[in-house]
Chains A and B, each alone.
Chain A
Amino acid sequence: MNRVLDNLCRTSQVLFTVGPGGVGKTTLAAVLGLQAALSGRRTLVMTVDPALRLADALGLGKVRPGRRVTISGRRLERHGLQLRAGLEMVMLDTGRSLAAAVSRQVASRKLQRRIVEHPFFQRMCEDLAGAREYAAMEELYHRLQRGQHDLVVVDTPPANHALDFFDAPEKVLQVLDRRAWRWLMRPALLAGSVGRRTLDFSSGYIVRTLSRFTGMKFLAELASFVNLFAGALEGLRQRAEHLRQIMRSDRSAFVLVAVPEHHPAEQALRLGRRLAAREMTPRLLVVNRCQPPAGALPGSPGWQEGLVRRLVAEEGAGEAAARRAVVALERGHRLQRRLALRDRRRLAALERQAEGRFPLATVALLEQDVHDIAGLEQIRRQLFAPAEARSAPAGREES
């Protein structure tokens, strides 16, 4: 059993899985959520990935973004698992989360509507760098405030955007900061409402130049949005600051995920260092999908001939098929050995590079892709089952 991870599942309030794309962050997030719920903590697993992988990983098929889904205890019982607290998952809906954030900050219904129906708001939800990440943070904060869960597991976007994720509030709020805009578009903003007609960029050599890029209409639209949004800004900023404190406190923990391949491993380590620089040092590096060792071929000399004879005599095999079977055994052994050795080399390198900053935990590659509860459970057992109960999860039988 991995004690660090077990402890995190028991005590953290927020767990982030971070790492490069395609290494199994979402799956691990689901596994951690499952473990926590089994130990009696009310758990929510949240993913921000637009590809909706969590639904895939949990075998829930297509679930609408933004809707919380409860994992049914009965489903888990079929796998011999007894939930001792609720396990829920949610996939982020950027538009909905941002709209909800706005309505929590702006009292007037009318103003709420004007903001969320503003064309810039719509585009912001789809396109603004960091908006998706920002929405995730808002959603996380909201969930923590509601207090319905003991643990929220957050599956973050792939490595190069994970930092956006943590820096998102600042970035997005800076963009929408009216004080900055005052300098840029003073006359228009002071006029109160900014429409195309009242827009007077007399101060704006800069604005004129920008408009050669974007057209004036866009600038007017953005300015009017900034103006509308101003009332919500301070509240959102305070929430962002509060969340940042939570992320840096003991209540939160970061779990780095990688696979034993050169580039993902390097990316993961780089990300780990950058998180550490933000006082969010990952507690653990989980290396996913490690090839199991190849085991040994029979030691007795001439086993091949013996096997051919046996297959022919006892199984009624044709000699050609029996020989092909022996060749297949040897070839399979060689291939598995090469794969396992490669992973071992890479793990050793990874351990060296991690320099003890993040302890390593490994998860063996399963026979099947993980897309259901059974797969999650196999991984969970690899990480959490007590040593004696670890009765050969798949991919481990001959280790």
Chain B
Amino acid sequence: MEVKENNLFSGLAGKRLVLFSGKGGVGKTTVAGAFARWAARRGRQVMLLEVRSRRELPGLFGRQDADDGPRQLAEGISWMNLTDRRALQTYGMLKLRFRAVYRAVFEQRLVRRFLQAVPALSEILVLGHLAHLVEHQPGVLHVVDAPASGQGRQLLAAPRAVLDTVRSGPLYESVSWIQDLLADGRRTAIGLVVVGEELSVNEALELYERLHRQLQLPVQALIANRLLAHPLDAPVRKLLERCRLEPELAPAVGNALRLHERVALQQRYLDRLRAGVPLPLAELFEVIEADDAAAPLRRLAEQMDSAEEGR
């Protein structure tokens, strides 16, 4: 399904692989988790994936345990942390076929050291593992909480980098297979998560430039997260400015105007983003109170519902 403004989330849910990227601290992980929850509620079988991460998603679903999965987090949602080591085991085994060979070669300390030196190899292994999952679970929607901008860019750029330097051989073949999946906008979509702040928007613009224009990857949606809603119209603002001098009212007026400034600033940054990136944008609002660990995720998923129905 094509991703449009009025069906952004269902558009994404129609893919087999959705990656969320963006600057650190914008709430990518929460958005990925909420989207998984939203899609699962609509009957999709979802596999949520973190990449070499701190295993945050189980916590956001209110779970305590701390291994790398795979594990069921909720009805219809399984989760796993993609690590270099596991990717090497799964994808490496696939290429090498025999466990004994794997042990003899890849469990060697020196060889591991070597693997660090192979540019982009660990990225390729992780992506290979991911592509392998997508291929073998055709009915499943894979939602990836990709690493923050810099590292995320490196991850997604790795196949292209390898294809540009290696022109044949086994590595070439497996990497083209990975690249085919990543670049295929029918099966795959990348969503950029931003907050209404300058640096976040700057990075999103850069990321779009790199992923979409240079690497031709299917960046298909923008998700603005943690927005505040506090609009003041012009006459009200003018009246409030006048009240500022009354000592009794000053604190409250200060709040109202400051919040208004922040909201206006957020919108200005989002406008800049819209001007630079011609993609549908969904607005999600800050979840302030969390009654329990799973609340932010739940509330964001509800917001996704109303974003989809309200239009």
Contact = CB atoms under 8 A, between A and B. Distances in A.
Interface of A: 20-23, 49-51, 53, 56, 119, 123-124, 126-130, 157-158, 160-161, 171, 174-176, 180, 183-184, 205-206, 209-210, 212-218, 222, 259, 261, 263-264, 267, 270, 294-300, 303, 307, 311, 315, 317-318, 321-322, 324-325, 328-333, 335-336, 338-339, 342, 367-369, 371, 395, 397-398
B116 A332 contact: no
A263 B56 contact: yes
B230 A295 contact: no
Contact of B111 (A123, A210, A324, A369): A210
Contact of A315 (B23, B119, B151, B239): B239
Contacts of B121: 213-214
Given A329-B240, A339-B288, A214 B171 contact: yes
A177 B173 CA distance: 30
B161 interface: yes
Interface string B63-103: 00000000000000000000000000000100110000100
Contacts of B235: 317-318, 321, 324
B154 interface: yes
B198 A183 contact: no
Interface string B40-56: 00000000000011101
B253 interface: yes
B31 to A, nearest CB: 13
Interface in B278-292: 288-289
B258 A22 contact: no
Nearest to A323: B236
Given A123-B119, A176-B117, A342 B256 contact: no
A328 B259 CA distance: 10
Interface of B: 23-26, 29, 52-54, 56, 92, 95-96, 101, 104-105, 108, 110-111, 113-114, 116-122, 148-151, 154, 158, 161, 165-166, 168-172, 197-200, 202-203, 206, 228, 230, 232-233, 235-236, 239-240, 242-243, 248-262, 265, 288-289
Given A328-B232, A369-B198, A222 B256 contact: no
Contact of B110 (A127, A180, A213): A180
Grouping DSSP codes into helix (H, G, I), strand (E, B) and loop, the A interface class, with mixed when no group exceeds half, is helix
Contact of B24 (A158, A218, A300): A158
A134 to B, nearest CB: 12
A368 B265 contact: yes
Contacts of A129: 116, 122
Given A51-B203, A158-B148, A124 B119 contact: yes
| 7 closest A-B pairs by CB | A21-B24, A22-B25, A295-B251, A332-B256, A127-B119, A215-B169, A175-B117
B25 A215 contact: no
A322 B240 CA distance: 9
A210 B105 contact: yes
Nearest to A368: B265
Contacts of A328: 232, 236, 240, 256
Contacts of A395: 258
Given A184-B114, A263-B56, A128 B249 contact: no
12 contacts: A22-B24, A22-B199, A53-B199, A119-B165, A127-B120, A127-B154, A160-B53, A315-B242, A329-B253, A333-B255, A335-B230, A369-B197
B254 A397 contact: yes
A171 to B, nearest CB: 7
B117 A367 contact: no
Contacts of B108: 206
Contacts of A184: 110-111, 114
Contacts of A130: 116
Given A129-B122, A369-B197, A22 B117 contact: no
